[in-house]
Amino acid sequence: AQKVTQAQTEISVVEKEDVTLDCVYETRDTTYYLFWYKQPPSGELVFLIRRNSFDEQNEISGRYSWNFQKSTSSFNFTITASQVVDSAVYFCALSEALNYGQNFVFGPGTRLSVLP
């Protein structure tokens, strides 16, 4: 079965520090997709990035970057120069095929607090 582990339950950093959120996944599929979502205090889930298993290139988007390594089954997320607005719960998710469609298997989430 698919599984996503986010070992860091809570992280606190001071504004402008860099922070990395860890994600480790388990799957027997050769083709799969990984996602990161952000859940700010308002509660909605915001999609951040999608990555497929064939593309191990790291990606940078502004202050955000993602490091995907198949060899270690990890898909880590780094925020550079963190800001208070980055405070949220961050979820890593893995796409799995179901009988008739797709499911997203979520990790338990990492709560990030950025202190001013």
State the residues that interact with another protein by CB under 8 A: 4, 9, 31-33, 35, 37, 43-45, 47, 50, 52, 91, 95-104, 106-109
Q: Is the CB of 9 or the CB of 61 nearer to another protein?
A: 9
Please compute Rg for the chain using Cα positions.
14
Q: Is the dihedral of CA 21, 83, 49, 94 positive or negative?
A: positive
Measured from the CB of residue 55, what is the shortest distance to another protein in angstroms? Answer: 11
Query: What sign for the dihedral angle of Cα 39, 79, 112, 71?
Result: positive
Q: How far is the CB of 93 from another protein (least distance, A)?
A: 8
Residue 76 or 110: the one with the smaller Cβ distance to another protein is: 110
DSSP SS3 for 55: coil
The answer to whether 3 touches 102, Cβ cutoff 8 Å, is: no
Q: Report the distance separating Cα 47 and Cα 67, nearest Å.
A: 17
Q: How far is the CB of 27 from another protein (least distance, A)?
A: 11
- The full length of the chain comes to 116
Minimum CB distance to another protein, residue 28 (Å): 14
Q: Which is nearer to another protein, 73 or 80 (CB)?
A: 73
- Residue with smaller CB distance to another protein, 32 or 114: 32
